[in-house]
Amino acid sequence: MRILLTNDDGIYAPGLRALHKELKKLGDVVVCAPATEQSAAGHSVTLLSPLIVQEIFDENKAFFGWAIEGRPADCVKLALVELLPEPPDLIVSGLNAGSNAGINVVYSGTVAAAVEGAFFRCTAIALSQSYRKPAQIDFAAGAAIARQVVEEILAYKPQPGSLFNVNLPSADLGPPKGLKVLAQNVAPYQESFVRNVDPRGRTYYWLGADYGCAEPHPDTDESALQQGYVTLTPLYFDLTNHRLMDEMKTREWNLGSPRKPD
């Protein structure tokens, strides 16, 4: 099996290194990841500057992959279009430091890299490790669990272009209670900004670190994650609101002349 591994925390991130070690048990792994951290980059791509590519080698001087001075989606696009001699059988993005459940899917560079792979009709999986205390992140243990989830997904024999978002619970909750396949939580998150003044007297705001969802919708990825479960959410990148579209099609749309009041 040929596996393309990427992330948004950067090619030197410990989560990627731990996952690389585990995925090698499943097949040949090549890395194409950002040269620097790109957290919350979303699905942005680079248009107005070149993508600098550098080959990276491991401690044994064996080829490890490519570091790209770009976004996570750039890395996958460049790998599939230019760098890889043949398409991979699987694209994996992670292991991200922090969950990408709920509306974080929209902001996440980790998920965006997987979405980019699904655009190209590759099976793609985004993997994230939730934490409540950063010093306690055990990426080796998380990567071992993540690899088992990948094996379970592959055993399901998903169709080409299938896209999955996987989140692992915080390690301080103990061993995972199991895996649940659930929908994405869409309850709002609590956010705050820290206001301060820089040395030149200018006011600035910095997004606070106490970002979270205190009241997630029941039976969603966020609620199960907080209860100690691994969550698996199949995603799709069609953003069309089909219900509203069908409803609006029943209306007569009038251009070129003033509409009479209803």
Is 260 within the bounds of a domain? no
CA-based R_g, the chain, Å? 20
Report residue 230's pLDDT band, with 50, 70 and 90 as the boundaries.
Answer: very high
Is 88 within the bounds of a domain? yes
**Residues 185 and 226: beta-carbon distance below 8 Å:** no
Is 10 within the bounds of a domain? yes
CATH assignment of the domain containing 104:
3.40.1210.10
Is 13 within the bounds of a domain? yes
pLDDT at 200 over 70: yes
Is 206 within the bounds of a domain? no
pLDDT at 250 over 90: yes
- Number of domains into which the chain is organized: 1
pLDDT, one tens digit per residue, over 48-98 is: 999 999 999 998 899 999 999 999 999 999 999 999 999 999 999 999 999
Dist. CA 73–CA 59, nearest whole Å: 27
Is 47 within the bounds of a domain? yes
| Residue-number span of the structural domain to which 163 is assigned | 2-186+215-249
pLDDT, one tens digit per residue, over 15-40 is: 999 999 999 999 999 999 999 999 98
What contacts 158, CB < 8 A, 6 or more positions away? 123, 164
pLDDT at 217 over 70: yes
The predicted model gives 35-47 an average pLDDT of: 93
